[in-house]
Structure 1
Amino acid sequence: MSGVTKSAVETSGQIESKPTGAIGPVAGVHCHDFLSVCDLAPGLIESVFETAAAYKADPSAYAGVLAGKSVVMLFEKPSLRTHVTFDIGLTRLGAHVLYLDHSKQRLGEREAVKDYARNLERWADAVVARVFNHSVLLEMADNATIPIVNALSDVEHPCQALADLFTIQERLGTLKGKKIAYVGDGNNVCHSLMLCSAMMGVDVTVISPKGFEPQYAVVREAVRLAEQSGATVRISNTLEAIGGHDAVYTDAWVSMGQAHQAGLRKDSFVGFQIDEEVMQRASRGIGAGAIFMHCLPAHRGEEVIDAVIDSDYSVVYDQAENRMHVQNALMMLLLGGANA
């Protein structure tokens, strides 16, 4: 992957950058699509969270609000949480959901992405796509008049980030001023978490082995957003940066499509495992102690030990549950089913 440049990671771990405008994954933002967390302004994210909380408290109040709407799900990658939460969530809202499995034939191979998008817009009200290449989402959005929702790409996983921040708010209260440490691969989950945290005033520290940092374009954009919200963004290559954090987040060392790099990655990430000692260090100065977060699936015994992921301070299953609630709120916003 493309990591940050050597000059971007200073001894202190603090990234310094001047505002440079929309870059990386947020360039060419589509106002009615959700391809990046940056497609929603902070105020809209707050509204989505309010609707998600209301839906979670009383799902029956929203039954049928998307009746008559049809949503196509295009998945090039297998999924548990994303597939189930979108399918069941939209069904509970009254929408019709059609799942198209593209795991054996990627979008664009049999038919041009442009043609695919222009056909779907004639039949469906929205498309939820989980793809290998973010460029596919951009091309679909450029050629369709219906909302395109990013259910995961190689650049971002924005629905996960919404669920993550909603979970932190639910568990710890007001987001602004909270501190989160992400330990692991600077991947799509990391990118969206950084951007969303920066937007919402959450201080974020990313701790990755050298060569596995988040993309520099994303770091720069996160810094720009943090300057607006009053948050901070730090990048470090050592767990010594852990301390005084409200939440510790990690992800798998080897993701889908990276099996050929498994040996290199596991060797590189030795020393970045989240165990009880790391959680104790993270909790320094935090009265209630840090919570543990993971987007799942977890490789137990690698990036995290059982004693942490199964602990009382682990919120991984809350994150998974909240995927459905924030996605329902998002889809109501995009499809006009609620005043989110």
Structure 2
Amino acid sequence: MTRSASPKSKSKKAQQPPQPFLHTPDSLPAPVMAGRDFLSNLDTSPEELRAILDTAASMKRGEWRNVKPLQGLSLALLFEKASLRTRTTFDVGMYQLGGHAITLSNQEIGLGTRERVSDVARNLERWVDGIMGRVYLQHTLHELADHAEVPVINGLSDMLHPVQLLADYQTIEETVGPVQGKRVVYIGDGNNLANSHIHMGVLTGADVTIVTPVGFEPNGAVLMDAVRRGASVTLTSDLAAVDGADVLYTDVWISMGQEEDGARRRRAFQGYQVTPQMLERIAPQGIFLHCLPAHYGEETVPEATEHPKSRVFDQAENRLHAQKALLYHVMGQMKPRW
């Protein structure tokens, strides 16, 4: 005689959580930047950026565990500047997607000194499937891209830091929701982070405010281009702009290579330090972000990065997910050469 399930067993089965969605090789989204360079956030359209951020969120949920879309592909990591987050996340990201990363320091390559940048590009394109550069000059990345047939990714330059902004906006969406119309207030030096925030304002419709002392403004051409494109961007030195912000963001006052100008910069930025008291001025559900490393005692203090409104370490984690998503959308249609 067949016995029917008891009410208890039916109830228990009904209470089981749904199984998470897992991608298969046949269910992956189409790469939206196949084979293209990513030197600036503006190298994507709003729709392409949306696809990258959606993929990053999917990867963070663990939905890509069963697939290795970059199997057999290699990425060269070129470093003129020291790195913790960029190096680790690109290396681990390639591994998790089935590929391989090789790290090359400036001591080994000597971009523009030991070898011409164009020659480095022409060599690497014969061996690897992509190049990531963390360099001093934006021009170096453009020279690499001009002479390499494989895609080039900007891991940081003097002008822009676009991969960081992918992780930043993933973090913003996770915590404060859709970014269109949200007030993103950047306080501090008008450096590569400030320029890239302006670019993201163009792409997302966020209301971006740059708060910086007179003489330390972001790049004028970046700002004017954003205004021409209809972005909501405000430039001010008034700290009152912090009040009610949905996102408060800061970065170091003294970037690598600016150490000789440190004393002047510290004087100019007095009062622009993000403290717990300043975080009480942002929106009740607002968050604090910092791309790290932090120079505690200058642009912020440990009590701010450990504050309940801080999402600094979630932001650092998202470097991995966002860059994996970017790597997939740039390299996901490539086939191994061997």
Q: Which range, TM-score by smaller chain?
A: 0.7 to 0.9
Identity %: 44
SS in 2 for 1:168: helix
| TM-score, structure 1 normalization | 0.85
Please state how far the C-alpha of 1:152 moved relative to its aligned partner: 0.3
Q: Counterpart of 1:146 in structure 2: which amino acid?
A: V
Q: Deviation string for 1:86-111 (max 9, x for gaps)?
A: 00111111111111011576411111
Alpha-carbon distance, 1:258 to partner? 0.9
Corresponding position of 1:109: 113
Conserved in 2, the CA contact under 8 Å of 1:31 and 1:39? no
Per-residue deviation, 1:62: 5.3
Query: Which residue number corresponds to residue 298 of structure 1?
Result: 294
> Could you tell me how far 1:194 is from its partner in structure 2?
1.5
Given that 2:250 and 2:290 are in contact with CA atoms closer than 8 Å, whether structure 1 keeps it comes out as: yes
Q: C-alpha displacement at 1:207, in angstroms? A: 0.4
Where does residue 119 of structure 1 map in the other structure? 123
Compute the TM-score of the two structures, normalised by the length of structure 2: 0.86
Unaligned runs of 5+ in 1: 1-29
Residue 245 of structure 1 corresponds to 245
Q: Distance in 2 between matches of 1:107 and 1:331?
A: 23
**Are 2:109 and 2:115, in contact at CA under 8 Å, matched by a contact in 1?**
no
What's the C-alpha RMSD, in Å, of the aligned pairs? Answer: 1.7
Q: Which residue of 2 aligns with 1:271?
A: 271
Aligned to 1:262: 262
Is it true that 1:334 corresponds to 2:338 in the alignment? no
Partner Cα distance (1:232, 1:83) in 2: 33
Larger Rg computed on CA atoms: 2
Letter in 2 for 1:45: L
Q: Deviations over 1:144-172 (max 9, x none)?
A: 11000000000000000111111101111
Number of aligned residue pairs: 301
Distance 1:103 1:179 in 2: 42
Determine if contact 1:182/1:248 at 8 Å carries over to the other structure.
Answer: yes
Q: How does 1:1-340 map to 2 (within 5 A)?
A: 32-58=36-62, 60-61=64-65, 63-103=67-107, 106-225=110-229, 227=230, 231-283=231-283, 288-336=284-332
Distance 1:109 1:62 in 2: 43
Q: What's 1:7 paired with? A: none
Q: Residue 189 of structure 2 contacts residue 212 of structure 2 at CA under 8 Å; is this kept in 1?
A: yes
Alpha carbons 1:78, 1:103 under 8 Å: kept: no
- Evaluate the alpha carbon distance shift between residue 116 and residue 104 of structure 1 in structure 2; reply closer, same or farther with a 3 A threshold: closer
Superposition deviation, residue 224 in structure 1: 2.8
Does the CA-based 8 Å contact 1:75-1:103 persist in structure 2? no
| Matches of 2:67 and 2:193, distance apart in 1 | 31
Q: Distance in 2 between matches of 1:105 and 1:124?
A: 15
Larger deviation, residues 119-128 vs 59-68? 59-68
Letter in 1 for 2:105: D
Output one character per residue of 1:29-79: Cα deviation in whole Å (capped at 9) or x when no partner.
x98100000001110010001111111111653542110101111100000
> Structure 2 unaligned runs (5+)?
1-33
